[in-house]
Amino acid sequence: MELRQLQYFVAVVEEANFTRAAARLRLAQPGVSAQIRQLEREVGQPLLDRTGGSVTPTEVGEAVLPYARAALAAVAGVRQTVDEFTGLLRGHVTLGLVSGAPTYEVDVASLLADFHDDHPHVDIALTEDTSERMLSGLLGGTLDLALLGLTASEPPAGVSYQVVIEAPLVAACAADDPLVAGGRRASVRLAELRDRPLISLPRGTGLRGVLESACAEAGFTPRIAFEAAAPQVLEQLAARGLGVAVVPAPLTGAAPVAGLRALPLTHPRPLGRIALAWRTEGPTSPAAGALLTRLRAALALPPGQSG
């Protein structure tokens, strides 16, 4: 019985699928299947039920699973103890990034490259998803850290965060739209968008959640005509007269979209926020803890902003 066989077994159980487990392990699926079959031959019993729509542990597999996890944890503990004595940081960190995040404001690539230069034995996986699914990933342990959009003023139980970008939402539309025609207005009341086709980020994103909550407070349900993952695409659609885009106010690195006018939203005044989030009890590995410390220092809001 080999340690890697136990690792593959645990991964398949947690993913309920051989293909997803192989992707998580960064291995070919046939190799994972072959090693688990070898493990089953060695113990003399099937450990996985492959007959249903998803892979599940058999009764024997359920009994073996805690011991497999304990063995993997023990080996990880040995490696961590040795690394602490030698001052060497190693491991694997998974960082989630909200789709369409304004990377001109948060230079994630440079931050990760600098961290990798200092800790070359730490592997970093970067994945994009909606804020809703990343929160689930943090709580479920598939993500160590995440840069995500916030919907509520307080994080869900078990998650802590540090706001890194904060901007009021604006109504962006074509320059000849009646909403902004004449150029004399300074703002737009949210209720004025009640019957307008809106352009927004998809459901599950922090910005979409903020928009829906603000519209509910204003007494209506938003009529979403178009969705896109990147705020700049929303602005481009709005500039062509396809609706009113609800996006964060332009930030310092954003390139302006030709033919677009944007006015702050009021009554209420919705606020878009992107935050660095992590499990409240802290990362599960020294490598993730070190990256969290680095990111928190690098992504602190400028003086005068809340968060």
The domain boundary residue, chosen from 47, 63, 86: 86
Residue 157 shares a structural domain with residue 174:
no
What's the CATH code of the domain at 280? 3.40.190.10
In a domain, 72, yes or no: yes
Q: What is the pLDDT of residue 284?
A: 74
- Estimate to the nearest angstrom the gap between the alpha carbon of 248 and the chain centroid: 18
Close Cβ partners of 283 (under 8 Å, ≥ 6 residues apart): 93, 144, 145, 289, 291, 292
Residue 98 shares a structural domain with residue 172:
no
What's the CATH code of the domain at 261? 3.40.190.290
Summarised one tens digit per residue, pLDDT across range 183-236 is: 778 899 999 999 999 999 999 888 999 999 999 999 999 999 999 988 888 989
- Closest C-alpha to 170, from 145, 153, 192: 192
Summarised one tens digit per residue, pLDDT across range 228-256 is: 988 888 989 999 999 999 998 875 445 56
Q: Rounded mean pLDDT of the chain?
A: 87
**What is the number of structural domains in the chain?**
3
* Cis amide bond preceding 231, omega within 30: no
Residue 47 shares a structural domain with residue 122:
no
Residue 180 shares a structural domain with residue 160:
no
Residue 67, amino acid: Y
Rounded to an integer, the average pLDDT of 8-22 is: 91
Residue 7 shares a structural domain with residue 78:
yes
Residue 22 shares a structural domain with residue 40:
yes
Summarised one tens digit per residue, pLDDT across range 22-71 is: 988 888 999 999 999 999 999 999 999 998 778 999 999 999 999 999 99
What pTM did the predictor assign?
0.68
More confident residue, 188 or 181: 188
Q: What is the extent of the structural domain holding 104? A: 91-164+273-298
For the chain, the C-alpha Rg in angstroms (whole number) is: 24
Residue 99 shares a structural domain with residue 154:
yes
CB of 95 within 8 A of CB of 111?
A: no
More confident residue, 163 or 283: 163
Rounded to an integer, the average pLDDT of 98-103 is: 65
Residue 228 shares a structural domain with residue 178:
yes
- Distance CA(107)–CA(104), nearest Å, equals 6
Q: What is the pLDDT of residue 306?
A: 46
In a domain, 283, yes or no: yes
Catalogue the E-assigned strands of the chain: 48-49, 56-57, 91-98, 122-129, 145-149, 159-174, 188-189, 197-200, 223-227, 244-248, 260-266, 271-279
The domain boundary residue, chosen from 52, 86, 120: 86
